[in-house]
Amino acid sequence: MTVYVMDSSAVLRYVDREAGSDRVVAIFKACVQGQDRARISAVQWGEIAGSVRRKFGAQNQNRILDSLVPLDLEIVPATGERAAHAAELRVDHGISYADAFAAELAMETSDRVLVTADYGFKVLCNVARVEFLPAK
């Protein structure tokens, strides 16, 4: 069983039906069927909420976020320990703090794959499994 760690960019590709959304659909389908699991950091979830609110308005934010719930996407809390590890990744690899939460979650065990459309994660390819969605 693979655990897919979703970066906000991957979920937003799904929401916006952009390049790579078909791959995200396949991952979510496998999760709903119990074949794989999908997780996302609460920090990344917050990025999605803000992006959705900005693009679709306050009235649609909860509707869109609620539509993601049946996809079995587990939201992982940002604990103090996770925050400290994310800070280390940010400093050591030069990625954004929010991205470091996704990386931290993906690096927790070897069965995890970070799914992203953000090519800034290339700096982590030697320390984490990363699956890049196609560029727009």
Q: What is the pLDDT of residues 1-12, one digit of tens each?
A: 999 999 999 999
**pLDDT of 34:** 94
3-state secondary structure of 1: coil
Q: What is the pLDDT of residues 8-58, one digit of tens each?
A: 999 999 999 999 999 999 999 999 999 999 999 999 999 999 999 999 999
Q: Indicate whether 123 pLDDT > 90.
A: yes
Record the pTM.
0.94
Rg over alpha carbons for the chain, rounded to the nearest Å, is: 14
Q: Indicate whether 81 pLDDT > 90.
A: yes
Partnered with residue 113 across adjacent β-strands are: 4
* 33: Cβ contacts below 8 Å, ≥ 6 apart: none
Is there a contact between 98 and 90 (Cβ–Cβ < 8 Å)?
no
Interatomic CA distance for residues 112 and 54, integer angstroms: 30
CB atoms near residue 46 (< 10 Å): 15
Q: Indicate whether 136 pLDDT > 90.
A: no
Q: Give the CATH superfamily of 3-132.
A: 5'-nuclease (3.40.50.1010)
Q: Indicate whether 70 pLDDT > 90.
A: no
Is there a contact between 16 and 50 (Cβ–Cβ < 8 Å)?
no
Q: Which two tokens stand for residue 32?
A: 């709903």
Q: Indicate whether 100 pLDDT > 90.
A: yes
Q: Which two tokens stand for residue 35?
A: 């074949």
Distances (CA, A) of 26 to 57, 78, 93: 28, 27, 30
Q: Indicate whether 72 pLDDT > 90.
A: no
